[in-house]
Structure 1
């Protein structure tokens, strides 16, 4: 990215006033820290330096421990069972068969024979030991993959709608998603030196011409949506780009800014926010727009209080009009009036889909995105002969894409033989959970491991009310941070303590409205009682084709939350 010369934030003048993470980044030697030395320490399974643990997030790595055995190990006076999570940078969720085979090999050898598809269209390795970090990253490098900026205070993985029915437009926008991802990742050579073993080369050029030594105040998320599908939940992005096309192809993008799902449980001044629609930019001005938006957050984001460092707080503090005008000033042009668009779905198309190029695409349901050994076996067999690509969806499923008609029967037989029928219920098609326990250090309650069991009980309530085939979005997280985008769901649970959750209801089915908190710190019995009462009312009183969240708002059973600026 190009260097911005009019920064309002000057690290040399204001370092004493900044939070500890800002000082840590500034002194990290552009994300090097002492990571390389810590990897050589064989006395511990951890990276010894607390600062290095934070810096490694910029390299796509989280240090964690197995919380299922934490207490027992403490009693035995042993250090925690340290292990690591590695997140791959995979713009738009597009993966080639050769890349898949490498991911499979690394997962079997170093990742506990499991891979996880995330809600941001990429893969995570879990249960990785310290000695396996370099082998995984070097193996990814052989497959032209990396983990740069998959975590940390920078631009995270760039999302893109997965719609196999619009092959030409999808290919163009997916290509732009990759270009944007390559453009906005940090330019420091620290990653290459630490993980690939390259030598540091002296240079007079700025090592981080855009980010500078302190990078961004917090993470920054970018996503491309292709109406009528809002599978990426574009209004949850810091920068959302809604593709506008006509018969001649892509024209440009409606721009939405300031979305964010996270909140801090004990800080009522934190909140989820829907992105605001600020205008339209032609496709040729896309990169200038991305740089300008990120530049505003870099220069004006809160660097004293990390709880208020996301772009949504910058916008609310400065005002949306001021932020839009500052973006326009940096772009050197004004936004045009937003174009009309409509979202009619945010789920994945199941069954075989045919695109205009004559190729076929099949979605495979992956419960909570977890690829166990049986699923790995299936996809390895497919990848060994597949000539198309794989696409990871924001709903944690996998699309086998670009299939010739004469290969469909073979693929079906492989999937059915190993996995059985993969047409989930309407509720499960629209449900997802974060990882939570036992690996996530932030989790307060179960999520991935508990959701299937809870859905069984909710499905029974729906079936008793003749609603088994009605789609409802249902999302769960083990803490309030919002990794599965719960605050947009019609039904959502966020963890408070073991077996206890906050219950939210009334989000928009297409991701256009936030839900509302209806009960705090409750267990399963109370959750099911509340849902049962609302579902019974929904069965009796709903209008034709009315979604559950819309019904709750229309009938006043919950307070109406604000919609976005979606135009139609």
Structure 2
């Protein structure tokens, strides 16, 4: 990268931050209710976003004045592959009750999020998470974030343990070396204040002095089970299996969902494309070379085009492959002809292969809470306290309860039912394969609703699918409250992206396995018109599909113009 590049404000902030310290420690010690703008940017690298509850903005107070912003912190826990013990899960449940808003959230990247933590309690909460042997470091920010991997805990072969091992190795290898996290959150003076000592820099051999130009995401999956949406990552690792053993990985580069429509084509969603093949022993080193190329050539002037997908779009994959080979030290091996073919949501009962079972429990939109008759938080707490089993989180925001003995299955299932939690056979595939971002009220980027309105929307869509005989079809629906794409809305069968208050862009033609981008079918669709727009398309699909063609495949085959013509004719008749 040219030294003459004018750094963006955030790039300069990182450069001057003393390896991500900034004024975080000093501000933790003051009595202000919020962090400064600069500190809040650096806090992302420590796993936290500063937010305000937009439902509370401008509420009229008893004295007649309007309430200003009510700041709090969102804290994300880093857990490669979504692996968590019962103790760690229970710790997070305790923290959401003691310091948060009473809810715990499973993210679309197999992590936990705590919401609405007051600034004054941040250090206590971060310490408690670390005491449970988890961490929040690099869960956000311009570094490699939580490494996701197929969470299925099968024990009848080594594939799943080996993928988890790779996720752990990647997470460890790309963890920032800066000691700022430990210094700020985990060390104390006698008076309980964070030590603020003379800055002693450490070497950051991968990230350098400015870290990455933008966030970076990695994922590990099998060709026949892309349950983590491998192609949506900056760097995906597609396992190559021979004789029931992983011998290497196809590395897929350049995925990313975020886009800014107002920039008129300057930004775009992208799916990762095959870069190279690496043996298991080569994989970490090749991945490091990829990250270093992004470090050195990613755009540091304009964050909106700073992701690695834009480097690849500008250069082409051949030039990018050549440059990565230079950094690796030798020519890369071309990728093998192995591709994603299927995906599973892992909901329901599965034999683990070691005489025990695991149970996939759907958590709609990932929100673990008690609300009315649906008491997910209490139900899970009851089971975890009694059985102390390990848990895995999925990229579809579900929970896998692992290592269940045969004799305990009935009790666990009944406990879930007693708390209003439905089993796999009671849920439509549409609901099981749906995900949403938090959006309003806490996300600062949200322009409209997502998590809070998707369940009711699915209720209506389920009724229409039932009416036309499609209730058992596997259809993926992803919804976000803005174009940033946290819930990966640009490649499922149906994507809904918030465009303005109460209005969405409707995408069609992707697929469940995440290998094809969807196209825009309608823009600026009011919430109440989404179902009426989908009804004729479901009817068309029911009568004109070929064989086992999925809804996304059908829409892709027909195209927007054909679908629109049919819908207009159907609505006019």
Aligned pair partner of 1:345 in 339, 342, 345: 342
Aligned pair partner of 1:545 in 543, 548, 551: 548
Structure 1 residue 195 displacement after superposition: 0.8
Aligned pair partner of 1:265 in 252, 261, 264: 261
Q: Deviations over 1:131-170 (max 9, x none)?
A: 1211110001111111001111111110001234465211
- Please say if 1:155 is aligned against 2:144: yes
Aligned pair partner of 1:83 in 63, 72, 77: 72
Segments of structure 1 that go 5 or more residues without pairing to the other structure are 1-7, 561-568
When normalised by structure 2's length, the TM-score is 0.92
Give me the whole-angstrom Cα distance separating, in 2, the residues matched to 1:219 and 1:159. 14
- What residue is the counterpart of 2:95 in the other structure? 106
- What residue is the counterpart of 1:137 in the other structure? 126
Aligned pair partner of 1:123 in 104, 112, 131: 112
Give me the whole-angstrom Cα distance separating, in 2, the residues matched to 1:105 and 1:347. 31
Secondary structure of the structure 2 residue equivalent to 1:419: coil
The answer to whether the 8 Å contact 1:359/1:403 transfers is yes
Indicate how the Cα distance of structure 1 residues 559 and 137 shifts in structure 2: closer, same or farther if over 3 A, else same.
Answer: farther
- What residue is the counterpart of 1:364 in the other structure? 361
Give me the whole-angstrom Cα distance separating, in 2, the residues matched to 1:420 and 1:206. 49
Residues 24-423 of structure 1 correspond to what in structure 2 (within 5 A)?
Answer: 24-42=13-31, 44-47=32-35, 49-72=36-59, 76-165=65-154, 168-197=158-187, 199=195, 206-247=202-243, 249-268=245-264, 269-373=266-370, 374-423=375-424
Indicate how the Cα distance of structure 1 residues 558 and 139 shifts in structure 2: closer, same or farther if over 3 A, else same.
Answer: farther
Give me the whole-angstrom Cα distance separating, in 2, the residues matched to 1:122 and 1:204. 31
Structure 1 residue 498 displacement after superposition: 1.8
Structure 1 residue 352 displacement after superposition: 1.1
Structure 1 residue 398 displacement after superposition: 0.3
- Shifted more, 407-416 versus 295-304: the winner is 407-416
The answer to whether the 8 Å contact 2:87/2:388 transfers is no
Secondary structure of the structure 2 residue equivalent to 1:244: strand
- Shifted more, 213-222 versus 348-357: the winner is 348-357
- Shifted more, 434-443 versus 187-196: the winner is 187-196
Q: Deviations over 1:162-198 (max 9, x none)?
A: 2344652111110220111111021111111111125
When normalised by structure 1's length, the TM-score is 0.92
Give me the whole-angstrom Cα distance separating, in 2, the residues matched to 1:73 and 1:260. 41
Segments of structure 2 that go 5 or more residues without pairing to the other structure are 189-194, 564-573
Give me the whole-angstrom Cα distance separating, in 2, the residues matched to 1:201 and 1:546. 63
The answer to whether the 8 Å contact 1:222/1:240 transfers is yes
- What residue is the counterpart of 1:3 in the other structure? none
Q: Deviations over 1:506-555 (max 9, x none)?
A: 11221110000111111134322221121110011011211001111222
The answer to whether the 8 Å contact 2:238/2:250 transfers is yes
Structure 1 residue 201 displacement after superposition: 7.4
Structure 1 residue 388 displacement after superposition: 3.8
- What residue is the counterpart of 2:566 in the other structure? none
Give me the whole-angstrom Cα distance separating, in 1, the residues matched to 2:326 and 2:300. 23
Secondary structure of the structure 2 residue equivalent to 1:57: helix
Indicate how the Cα distance of structure 1 residues 40 and 257 shifts in structure 2: closer, same or farther if over 3 A, else same.
Answer: same
- What residue is the counterpart of 2:515 in the other structure? 512
Structure 1 residue 334 displacement after superposition: 3.1
The answer to whether the 8 Å contact 1:73/1:79 transfers is no
The answer to whether the 8 Å contact 2:25/2:196 transfers is no
- Please say if 1:471 is aligned against 2:499: no
Indicate how the Cα distance of structure 1 residues 421 and 124 shifts in structure 2: closer, same or farther if over 3 A, else same.
Answer: same
Indicate how the Cα distance of structure 1 residues 409 and 311 shifts in structure 2: closer, same or farther if over 3 A, else same.
Answer: same
Give me the whole-angstrom Cα distance separating, in 1, the residues matched to 2:469 and 2:15. 59
Give me the whole-angstrom Cα distance separating, in 2, the residues matched to 1:400 and 1:248. 25
Indicate how the Cα distance of structure 1 residues 203 and 26 shifts in structure 2: closer, same or farther if over 3 A, else same.
Answer: closer
Give me the whole-angstrom Cα distance separating, in 1, the residues matched to 2:391 and 2:528. 40
The answer to whether the 8 Å contact 1:347/1:395 transfers is no
Secondary structure of the structure 2 residue equivalent to 1:470: coil
The answer to whether the 8 Å contact 1:442/1:479 transfers is yes
- Shifted more, 456-465 versus 57-66: the winner is 456-465
Give me the whole-angstrom Cα distance separating, in 2, the residues matched to 1:420 and 1:295. 45
Give me the whole-angstrom Cα distance separating, in 1, the residues matched to 2:187 and 2:70. 28
Indicate how the Cα distance of structure 1 residues 193 and 471 shifts in structure 2: closer, same or farther if over 3 A, else same.
Answer: same
The answer to whether the 8 Å contact 1:387/1:403 transfers is no
Give me the whole-angstrom Cα distance separating, in 2, the residues matched to 1:313 and 1:193. 35
Indicate how the Cα distance of structure 1 residues 484 and 242 shifts in structure 2: closer, same or farther if over 3 A, else same.
Answer: same
Give me the whole-angstrom Cα distance separating, in 1, the residues matched to 2:524 and 2:253. 32
Q: Deviations over 1:215-264 (max 9, x none)?
A: 00000000001221111111110000001122251101011000000001
- Please say if 1:535 is aligned against 2:525: no
Q: Deviations over 1:473-527 (max 9, x none)?
A: 1111000000000001111111122211111111122111000011111113432
Secondary structure of the structure 1 residue equivalent to 2:139: coil
- Please say if 1:496 is aligned against 2:485: no
The answer to whether the 8 Å contact 2:223/2:338 transfers is yes
The answer to whether the 8 Å contact 1:73/1:80 transfers is no
- What residue is the counterpart of 2:446 in the other structure? 443
Indicate how the Cα distance of structure 1 residues 529 and 510 shifts in structure 2: closer, same or farther if over 3 A, else same.
Answer: same
- Shifted more, 404-413 versus 314-323: the winner is 404-413
Equivalent residues, number = 547
Structure 1 residue 410 displacement after superposition: 2.3
